[in-house]
Structure 1
């Protein structure tokens, strides 16, 4: 199995996990504040990643020249982008959040060209176009109130910074274990967020975590969607161009909408299935290339 095919599989799996994360977050956010939930998932992820590094005897060493890129992954991607995604969605709608953050692959193509000199081929352009149209059909178009403008602006920041974070991942040498890179990046994000969650933490009822839905959701967010999915995304990016890899991000709104229909009983019409077909068609063009 080629590394490019495996890299695409890793990134598609990571994006699919993040799609499921929206359903879990919707349940947990009813009792836990957004920033505190981000902090909790990072703390759980740190414990898991540290244990993996200990038991697999990963190297903890990072060269000084590579430290700025690793710190940038944590601050730009895991603090600014994830934080903006939570707050932007809170100020707007889930559909608007999915629509705007799905512009990330297009930004990745542009940044890949500007910062890494990657070619924008006709096949990639057509693929991105088909997948973008598919996402618009999946999440719905229009109907947004002017009061959502601030939320929309914050969501654009989330999409831009996640694409920029992926460029920093490409700048880290492949000689490093992705477990090491992911752990140090998550550690950076945790340290940055910690001073801002104290007040939310002291006002949280301890009995919350005895509810199986809440502690199960926090474990899923920390172990699966953070430690697991961040590792898979970064690993996949090692083997693919940023522009190509970004197209697998379209699986996030696709899976998120499907799970919302399956688990939460949200309505899904014909346009969802047509949009899903266009997303898969767009991604298949990149796989064929």
Structure 2
């Protein structure tokens, strides 16, 4: 297995895990507010990554000139992008959220060209277009026009910031352990988000954490969907072109829809399966190119 193929597996796994977050978050968010949930998952992820780092005897030393890039990953990706996703969806609709954030791979292609001088090949451009059409089939285009325009603008910031963060990861020297890089970035994000989370935390939410379904959901979101998925995404992007790597982001709506169908009883129509085939076809074009 080549380095690029292994990176593809890492990226697809991370995006699939994020798709599964929809099912778990739907339960947890009934009692925990979004900003507090983000903080809790980051704290759990941080503890997990530090423990793994200590057990595996990672070197935690980062050169001063590389710290700004890690700071940018934490602030732009793990704070701004995640927060604007929640706010934008609240101001508009989940459908618009899926629509606009699905532009992330295309934005990654552009940022990779501007910042990393990666070539935009015909196959890369075609695969991105095919996959984005697949996303349109999955989320639909029904009442998008009725959604709040401000929410759409905020969601645009979410897509833009995650794409920029994903490309900046390529600026981190490959000599660093991605576990260490991910830990520092989540630490930065946690410190910045802590004041906002504590200002809204109340006794009812603290009590809710004693419920097995809630605390187990928080543990899943922190350990699997944050610590593991962020690490896999960062590791995968180090192994493939940034522009091509963005395509694996499209595994998120596929996994989310299938799991919602299986566990929440949500309906899945023929357009979903058409969209899934188009997304997988787009990814196949990139894998074949590599």
- The bucket for the TM-score relative to the shorter chain is over 0.9
Q: Which residue of 2 aligns with 1:135?
A: 135
Q: CA deviation at 1:162?
A: 0.2
TM-score normalised over the length of structure 2: 0.97
1:166-181 residue pairs with structure 2 within 5 A?
166-181=166-181
Aligned length: 289
Q: Secondary structure at the match of 2:226?
A: helix
Gap regions ≥5 residues in structure 2: none
- CA deviation string 1:174-196 (max 9, x = no partner): 00000000000000000000111
Q: CA deviation at 1:259?
A: 1.2
How many Å separate the matches in 2 of 1:195 and 1:206?
A: 16
Q: Which residue of 1 aligns with 2:201?
A: 201
1:185-264 residue pairs with structure 2 within 5 A?
185-264=185-264
TM-score normalised over the length of structure 1: 0.98
How many Å separate the matches in 1 of 2:88 and 2:258?
A: 22
Gap regions ≥5 residues in structure 1: none
How many Å separate the matches in 2 of 1:226 and 1:165?
A: 15
- Could you tell which deviates more after superposition, 198-207 or 222-231? 198-207
- CA deviation string 1:13-70 (max 9, x = no partner): 0000000111211111111111110000000000000000100000010000000000
Q: Which residue of 1 aligns with 2:52?
A: 52
- CA deviation string 1:214-254 (max 9, x = no partner): 11110111000100000000000101111000000000111
How many Å separate the matches in 1 of 2:245 and 2:173?
A: 17
1:250-289 residue pairs with structure 2 within 5 A?
250-289=250-289
Q: Which residue of 2 aligns with 1:18?
A: 18
Q: Secondary structure at the match of 1:197?
A: helix
Q: CA deviation at 1:211?
A: 1.4
How many Å separate the matches in 1 of 2:29 and 2:40?
A: 12
How many Å separate the matches in 1 of 2:203 and 2:144?
A: 33
Q: CA deviation at 1:206?
A: 3.0
How many Å separate the matches in 2 of 1:206 and 1:137?
A: 40
Aligned Cα root-mean-square deviation (Å): 1.1
Query: Residues 266, 107 of structure 1: CA spacing in aligned structure 2 closer, same or farther, 3 A cutoff?
Result: same
Q: CA deviation at 1:95?
A: 2.1
- Could you tell which deviates more after superposition, 252-261 or 7-16? 252-261
Q: Which residue of 2 aligns with 1:74?
A: 74
Q: Which residue of 2 aligns with 1:160?
A: 160
1:77-116 residue pairs with structure 2 within 5 A?
77-116=77-116
How many Å separate the matches in 2 of 1:271 and 1:278?
A: 11
How many Å separate the matches in 2 of 1:43 and 1:237?
A: 24
Q: Which residue of 2 aligns with 1:39?
A: 39
- Could you tell which deviates more after superposition, 248-257 or 72-81? 248-257
Q: Secondary structure at the match of 1:58?
A: coil
Aligned partners of 2:93 and 2:147 also within 8 Å: no
Q: CA deviation at 1:121?
A: 0.5
Q: CA deviation at 1:88?
A: 1.3
Q: Secondary structure at the match of 1:210?
A: coil
Aligned partners of 1:41 and 1:221 also within 8 Å: yes
Aligned partners of 1:39 and 1:194 also within 8 Å: yes
Q: CA deviation at 1:202?
A: 3.3
Aligned partners of 2:95 and 2:144 also within 8 Å: no
Q: Secondary structure at the match of 2:209?
A: helix
